[in-house]
Every structure is written in structure tokens, then in C-alpha cells.
């Protein structure tokens, strides 16, 4: 999505440790009108596929998943990172290793909200090693739900998670794929 690539180039900041900071429009501060256009683009990329729900992980995935959900006209569900007083009853759980925080955490979805009838689009703001998506795939499998595909706003192509999932047969659509950041941002050419 050309508009997203231009926005990353203009407003993104590359921090030490290969951290791409897009807090000014995608994470912490959110340009919601632009995010709604990203949601429309995801709808276009999955045109013709039946999707019953959008699944993401709190917290930074929620805004993008919300926009995707509005464009598709289906509910969204977000996995919580820990059980709380408001998530009770039977749960699906999966373990996710975070490279950012160097720890594993559990993601949790109440069994009330995903069933074997569901056809899920798995959504996250960033796709790097793909661990959050793998956790969501694990939850979809526990529910017996179909994974229609995965979509991220920004994929770090050089970290390999997206291509690994593509090699496993998943349709993975990212709106911008960063191939390298060392000498200025380079994006993968997409159709």
C-alpha cells in the first residue's frame, strides 16, 4: 500500500536495535482516518473469501483490527495477554515469545467467542518473527476454526516470520514489507 510506505518513510523512526518506531500514526498515537483506509485495503486483498471474524492480540493490534473489522462487516475478537476478572469460564490459550521484551506471555480468548464455525482473519499491527500470529493459529486450531489468512500493517521481511507462514501455505498479506532499514528504508515490491 503505497500510502503506508510513504507514511513510514516520512514519519517512522529507526531506533537502535532495528526497532522501527511508528508511534506517531500506528502505535500510541493513531491516525484513525488513515487506519480506516488500511482496513479497506485489507478487504480488497481478501475479496471473495468468506470471513466471519477478525482475531488480534491486545493492545497494539486492536486499532488496525478494528478498522479491518469495520470494512469486512464482521465482529473482531482480541486475545488478552493474561486472564483477568473479566475473562472467565473456559479459555483457549497459547504461549507467545516476544523478541521485543525477551519473555514469553500467554494469550487468552474465551471459548464463548470463537467456535468451529468460524473462518478467521488473523490481524496484527506488526509481523516480525510471526510469533503472535502463530499463537493465534494455535488458538484457531484449538477452536477448530478455519484460518482464512493473516494480515499485518507492517511486516519486517528480513525477520522471516511472514515468509515462513507463506511457506506453510497461509495467505499472508502485509500492507508494507520492510526488507531492510540499515541504509534507508527498502520495501518489498508487491502487486
Q: Write out the residues near a copy of itself by the rule CB under 8 A.
A: 15, 17, 19, 21, 23-25, 27-33, 35-36, 58-60, 62-63, 66-67, 69-70, 73, 75-78, 80, 84-88, 100-101, 109-110, 112-113
Closer of 86 and 116 to a copy of itself (Cβ): 86
Three-state secondary-structure class, residue 72: helix
The DSSP output letter for 189 is P
Give bridge partners of residue 122 from the DSSP assignment.
55, 150
Phi, psi at 71, each rounded to 5°: -65, -35
Closer of 83 and 167 to a copy of itself (Cβ): 83
Closer of 9 and 19 to a copy of itself (Cβ): 19
Shortest reach from residue 110's CB to a copy of itself, in Å:
6
Is the distance from CB of 32 to CB of 100 less than 8 angstroms? no
Q: Report d(CA 191, CA 178) in Å as an integer.
A: 15
Shortest reach from residue 21's CB to a copy of itself, in Å:
6
Shortest reach from residue 49's CB to a copy of itself, in Å:
19
Please report how many Cα atoms fall inside a 13 Å half-sphere around the Cα of residue 27, on the Cβ side.
18
Amino acid at each position: 500500500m503505497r500510502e503506508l510506505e510513504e507514511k513510514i518513510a516520512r514519519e517512522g523512526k529507526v531506533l537502535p536495535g532495528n526497532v522501527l518506531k511508528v508511534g506517531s500514526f500506528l502505535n500510541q498515537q493513531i491516525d484513525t482516518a488513515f487506519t480506516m483506509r488500511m482496513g479497506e485495503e485489507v478487504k480488497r486483498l481478501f475479496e471473495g473469501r468468506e470471513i466471519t471474524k477478525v482475531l488480534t492480540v491486545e493492545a497494539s493490534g486492536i486499532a488496525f483490527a478494528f478498522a479491518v473489522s469495520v470494512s469486512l462487516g464482521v465482529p473482531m475478537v482480541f486475545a488478552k495477554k493474561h486472564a483477568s476478572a473479566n475473562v472467565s469460564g473456559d479459555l483457549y490459550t497459547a504461549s507467545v515469545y516476544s523478541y521485543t521484551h525477551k519473555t514469553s506471555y500467554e494469550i487468552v480468548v474465551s471459548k464463548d467467542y470463537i467456535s468451529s464455525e468460524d473462518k478467521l482473519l488473523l490481524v496484527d499491527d506488526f509481523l516480525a518473527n510471526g510469533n503472535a500470529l502463530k499463537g493465534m493459529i494455535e488458538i484457531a486450531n484449538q477452536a477448530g476454526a478455519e484460518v482464512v489468512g493473516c494480515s499485518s500493517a507492517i511486516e519486517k521481511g528480513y525477520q522471516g516470520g511472514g515468509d515462513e507462514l507463506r511457506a506453510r501455505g497461509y495467505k499472508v498479506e502485509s500492507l508494507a514489507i520492510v526488507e531492510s532499514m540499515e541504509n534507508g528504508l527498502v520495501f518489498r515490491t508487491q502487486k
